[in-house]
């Protein structure tokens, strides 16, 4: 099933830009999903299970590497890349 995810990361209690850039950089290394970035969020497009697997791994890495963060996500079961 194809899916689109809009994701925002909010690191807590520290300089947030380097943590967000690190997270996005890691997402972009996954060749099997499409990653688009704008000033407000990051969008992911591709297979639902692949996106969720990547997010599970990369969010856990961020928690371990950068400490407390909030992730806000919207998911739709459609490929909405423009």
CATH code for the domain defined by 2-76: 3.30.70.930
8 Å CB contact between 14 and 77: no
The domain ranges of the chain are 2-76
- Asked whether residue 81 carries a pLDDT value surpassing 90, the answer given is no
Q: Report d(CA 13, CA 11) in Å as an integer.
A: 7
Q: Cα separation of 36 and 6, whole Å?
A: 9
What is the average pLDDT value for the chain, to the nearest integer? 95
- Per residue in 34-70, pLDDT (tens digit) is 999 998 999 999 999 999 999 999 999 999 998 999 9
- Quote the CA–CA distance of 23 and 62 in Å, as a whole number: 7
Pairing of strands 34-37, 42-47: antiparallel
Per the CB < 8 A criterion, the answer to whether 43 and 81 are in contact is yes
Q: What is the pTM of this model?
A: 0.91
User: pLDDT tens digits, residue range 64-75?
Assistant: 998 999 999 999
């Amino acid at each position: 099933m194809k899916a689109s995810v809009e994701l925002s990361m909010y690191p807590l209690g520290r300089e947030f830009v380097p943590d967000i850039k690190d997270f996005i950089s890691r997402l972009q290394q996954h060749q099997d999903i499409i990653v688009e970035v704008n000033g407000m969020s990051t969008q992911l497009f591709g297979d639902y299970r692949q996106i969720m697997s990547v997010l599970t791994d990369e969010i856990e890495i961020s928690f371990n590497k950068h400490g407390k963060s909030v992730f806000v996500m919207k998911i739709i079961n459609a490929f909405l890349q423009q």
